[in-house]
Amino acid sequence: MELLFRKYFWTLNLAFLAVAALLCAGIANSWITSKIAPGLSFGFDVPVRAPPPTAGGPARLHLETTASFLGIVLPKDEPVAIPREPVFDPNAAPVRSSLRVSLIGTMVANRPEWSLATIRDDNARETGVYMPGDRLLGAEVLEIERLRVIIKNEGRKEYIALGEIGPPPPPMTAVSAVPPAVSSGGDANVRQIDDNNYEITRDELDKQLSNLNAIATQARIVPSFKNGVANGFKLFSIRPGSLYSKIGIENGDVIRKINGFEINSPEKALELYAKLKESSKVELELERRGQVIPKSYVIR
C-alpha cells in the first residue's frame, strides 16, 4: 500500500493543482467582471417598494417635458409693458397749462415760499389761494411769479399766466337727467340770514373759542401786507365744513377789523379774543378781491 501510494502520489499533486487553478480562475473572473460592469447583478430580482407619495396631492406632470414628448408647442408669455412715468426736467421751458384754471392775481414775497397766488377753478367755479408746494387739481405749485405761476402737471412743467383763460372743457356726452339731491339743511348752530348776516349759538362760539388748536388747523392764516404795512390776516386753504366756511369766509379773504378794532398784529388778535368771549354780537370787516365786505354775527 505504501509502495502504491508513493508510486501514484504525483497524481494527487496534479489534482490539487487543478482545483487550486480552478479557484484562482474563478476569483480572477469575478474581480474582472465587477470592474467592467459594476451595475450588473445576477440572481432573482427583489421587488423594491415604491417611495410613499409626498404630502400635497398626487404627482404632477412637468409641463415642458410632457409638451416635448407629445410634440406640442407651448405659447410663450408676452412681456407686459409697464408704463413709465415721464421724467420731469426742472430746467425745461414751461408750456401753457392744460388745466381749466385762471390766474386772478399774485403776491410775490421776498422769500419765495411765502408768495401767494389766487387761482380760479373754471370747472368748479371756485377760487383758492395757493403757495409753493400746494396741490392744484393734482398738479404741484412750483413757483409764483408776478405775472404767472409755474406748476408741475403729469411730469411736465407748465405755466398759468395772468389774464389767460384755461382751455375749453371737453364736449359733454348726453346723459339721462338725474334729479337733484335734496339738501339735508345747514348746521343748526350756525344760521345764515342773508349774504352778510348770521346767527351763532353761544354754545357753538364757546366750543370753538375753547379749542384754538382746532381752529388753527381749519385754514392757513398768514399776515397780510398792503404797501409794506400790515393790514390784517389772510385766510386760504379753508377746509369744507369748517367754522370759517360756515360763517361765509372764503379763500383769499383778509380780516381787517373785528368789532371796529384793527387786527394788524398777533397781540391785538389775542386782545380781541378775550373780548369776543363776552360779546353778544361780532362784526367783521373783510377785504375780498379789493372790496370791503362787512359781516355781522349775532350770538344767541
pLDDT: which is higher, 191 or 228: 191
52 has a pLDDT exceeding 60? no
pLDDT for 184 equals 36
Query: What are the residue ranges spanned by the domains of the chain?
Result: 95-161, 190-299
49 has a pLDDT exceeding 70? no
Beta bridge partners of 147: none
Q: Comparing 2-11, 32-41, 153-162, which segment has the lowest mean pLDDT?
A: 32-41
Closest C-alpha to 30, from 40, 19, 20: 40
State how far the Cα of 275 lies from the Cα of 269, in Å rounded to an integer. Answer: 10
Whether domain 95-161 has CATH 3.40.250.10: no
Segment 23-35, tens digit of pLDDT: 666 666 666 665 5
129 has a pLDDT exceeding 80? yes
pLDDT: which is higher, 216 or 178: 216
Q: What is the pTM of this model?
A: 0.40
CB within 8 A of 129, min separation 6: which ones? 116, 117, 118, 119, 234, 236, 237, 251, 252
80 has a pLDDT exceeding 80? no
Segment 242-274, tens digit of pLDDT: 888 888 889 989 988 888 888 877 777 766 666
State how far the Cα of 101 lies from the Cα of 91, in Å rounded to an integer. Answer: 24
Q: Which three cell numbers, joined as nine digits, stand for 222? A: 398768514
Radius of gyration, alpha carbons of the chain:
48
State how far the Cα of 295 lies from the Cα of 56, in Å rounded to an integer. Answer: 76
Closest C-alpha to 117, from 140, 98, 141: 141
pLDDT: which is higher, 261 or 48: 261
Most confident option among 86-95, 174-183, 218-227 = 218-227
Beta bridge partners of 297: 198, 282
- Assigned CATH class of 190-299: mainly beta
CA quadruple 250, 133, 160, 145: dihedral, nearest 10: 100
pLDDT for 202 equals 84
Chain length of the chain: 300
pLDDT: which is higher, 105 or 39: 105
